[in-house]
């Protein structure tokens, strides 16, 4: 170490000498002056080197003192560590003895506390979703403290706490069979909050002001955004206004598990909402169905009037041109003197002229009855494509969303069948009425031709 330090000092001195000589060469005007300047530089550098050596010696002595101090501190800490380890081992043995002593004194109480912990945990889970907690909030805080105390090895529950656990169990059972009224803060669908009277039907339903309520997180009450039909709401209002006796009320049996049945019932779309789910294809099918019904009714009314006139003409011997049969008979009257073949052709021509007006609209009704299911199938296919695209993007993690998309897609098929079935029935009725009229015309024309042939 000393050798390397000396080398560094010599190197620094040499560098200083060289730099001083260079500076002197730049400023000296003669060789004697340069030699004098070099001599003075050596004297100054020698003094500086001595100061540095003295500083190095002081620092070396200081480092030695620090090293000695550090070694003393390490020895002291090692001794302290040995004392603490010995004390820890002694205390570990003492803790084991105390635990053994605690287990011996606890005896059967350990099993009792285990059952109590399990019972308190189950009761806490029931209270978190119980509608009784809306009337008695904060019951689970006591159970949390009791469970923590029974799981601790330094604390034991008191007799009062054990009795309160038994009391809470009994109160939950008793309150589940009561219909009571109490005041609470209710959140409206628009975000407003109001203090109002609430009726609790056991552990099944909560109603207030004729509306069904739900209990959200934190035992807070809120009106259901969608309510059941008016019949159930009137029952809820009657129950709240009743003071005694029996009152009809729509109870949700799944209330303790979250009221899933009530939510499913009120969230089921209405007929109008399902119709809107058909989207543009559903609207087209509906428009076609309305047109088919109007056309069928119109043709049925027209043919009923024509049938009545034809029936009247059958009872009359004088042809009347206000009905098809009268016009056909008029043709027979105008061609009495012709031969049988000519009269037959004239009569067939008269019947053919009446046929288009009588059968008007029948083909259109038939086409609509066949096209409506195809339109429904088109809507279903397009709806399924949209549903599968959504599944591709968002995945199939939510079966309800996937089922809702498939249900919406099938609405158009239902609409197509709803249009097709009555259209087929109306076509059958209208077609039967038209065929009856045409049958009378053909029968009468054939009879006239036969009578003419007999006279010949």
- Tell me the pLDDT tens digit for each residue of 216-268: 877 788 888 878 877 888 888 888 888 888 888 888 877 765 567 777 777 77
Specify the DSSP class assigned to residue 156.
-
334, β-bridge pairs: none
- pLDDT computed for residue 369 by the predictor: 92
Residue 94 lies inside a defined structural domain of this protein? no
Flag whether pLDDT at 4 surpasses 50: no
Among 150, 176, 202, give the residue marking a domain's end.
Answer: 176
Instruction: Name which of 129-138, 166-175, 346-355 the model is least confident about.
Output: 129-138
> Is the whole model's pTM more than 0.75, yes or no?
no
Same domain for 55 and 145, yes or no, is: no
221, β-bridge pairs: 186, 215
- pLDDT computed for residue 45 by the predictor: 66
Flag whether pLDDT at 416 surpasses 90: yes
* CB neighbour list of residue 169: distance below 8 Å, 6 or more residues apart: 119, 123
pLDDT tens, residue by residue, 162-212: 888 889 889 888 888 888 899 988 888 888 888 999 988 888 888 888 888
Residue 129 lies inside a defined structural domain of this protein? yes
Same domain for 168 and 19, yes or no, is: no
Domain housing 250: 184-268
* CB neighbour list of residue 274: distance below 8 Å, 6 or more residues apart: 411
Same domain for 163 and 189, yes or no, is: no
State how many domains the chain has.
Answer: 4
* CB neighbour list of residue 208: distance below 8 Å, 6 or more residues apart: 186, 196, 197, 198, 199, 221, 223, 240
User: Residue 184 and residue 196: Cα distance in Å, rounded?
Assistant: 6
Same domain for 345 and 442, yes or no, is: yes
- pLDDT computed for residue 10 by the predictor: 41
Same domain for 214 and 303, yes or no, is: no
Radius of gyration of the chain (CA): 54
- Residue 427 pLDDT grade (very low, low, confident, very high; cuts 50, 70, 90): very high
Same domain for 309 and 361, yes or no, is: yes
Residue 376 lies inside a defined structural domain of this protein? yes
Same domain for 310 and 238, yes or no, is: no
Same domain for 218 and 334, yes or no, is: no
Same domain for 116 and 247, yes or no, is: no
Q: To the nearest whole percent, how much of the chain has pLDDT over 70?
A: 84
- pLDDT computed for residue 46 by the predictor: 67
Specify the DSSP class assigned to residue 256.
G
């Amino acid at each position: 170490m000393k050798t390397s330090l000396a080398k560094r000092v010599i190197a620094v001195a040499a560098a200083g000498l060289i730099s001083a000589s260079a500076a002197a060469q730049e400023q000296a005007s003669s060789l004697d002056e340069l030699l004098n300047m070099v001599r003075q530089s050596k004297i100054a550098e020698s003094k500086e080197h001595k100061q540095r050596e003295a500083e190095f010696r002081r620092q070396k002595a200081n480092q030695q003192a620090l090293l000695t101090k550090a070694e003393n501190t390490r020895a002291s800490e090692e001794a302290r560590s040995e004392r603490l380890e010995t004390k820890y081992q002694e205390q570990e043995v003492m803790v084991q003895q105390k635990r053994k002593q605690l287990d011996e004194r606890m005896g059967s109480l350990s099993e009792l506390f285990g059952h109590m912990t399990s019972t308190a945990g189950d009761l806490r889970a029931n209270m978190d979703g119980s509608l009784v907690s809306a009337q008695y909030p904060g019951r689970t805080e006591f159970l949390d403290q009791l469970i923590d105390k029974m799981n601790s090895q330094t604390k034991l529950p008191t007799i009062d706490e054990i009795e309160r656990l038994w009391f809470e169990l009994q109160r939950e059972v008793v309150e589940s069979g009561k219909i009571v009224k109490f005041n609470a803060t209710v959140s409206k669908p628009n975000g407003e909050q109001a203090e109002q009277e609430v009726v609790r039907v056991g552990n099944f339903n909560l109603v207030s002001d004729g509306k069904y309520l739900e209990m959200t997180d934190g035992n807070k009450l809120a009106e259901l955004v969608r309510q059941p039909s008016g019949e159930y709401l009137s029952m809820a209002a009657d129950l709240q206004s009743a003071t005694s006796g029996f009152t009809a009320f729509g109870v949700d049996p799944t209330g303790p598990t979250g009221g899933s049945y009530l939510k499913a019932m009120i969230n089921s779309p209405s007929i109008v909402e399902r119709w809107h789910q058909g989207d543009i294809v559903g609207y087209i099918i509906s428009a076609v169905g309305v047109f088919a019904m109007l056309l069928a009714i119109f043709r049925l009314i027209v043919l009923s009037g024509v049938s009545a006139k034809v029936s009247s003409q059958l009872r009359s011997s004088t042809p009347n041109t206000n009905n098809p049969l009268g016009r056909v008979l008029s043709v027979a009257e105008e061609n009495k003197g012709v031969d049988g073949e000519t009269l037959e052709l004239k009569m067939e021509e008269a019947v053919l002229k009446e046929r288009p007006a009588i059968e008007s609209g029948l083909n259109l009704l038939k086409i609509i009855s066949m096209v409506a299911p195809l339109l429904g199938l088109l809507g279903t296919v397009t709806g399924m494509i949209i549903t599968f695209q959504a599944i591709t993007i968002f995945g199939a993690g939510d079966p309800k969303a996937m089922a809702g998309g498939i249900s919406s897609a099938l609405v158009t098929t239902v609409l197509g069948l709803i249009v097709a079935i009555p259209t087929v029935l109306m076509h059958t009725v209208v077609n039967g009425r038209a065929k009856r009229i045409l049958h009378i015309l053909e029968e009468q024309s054939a009879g006239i031709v036969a009578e003419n042939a007999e006279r010949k």
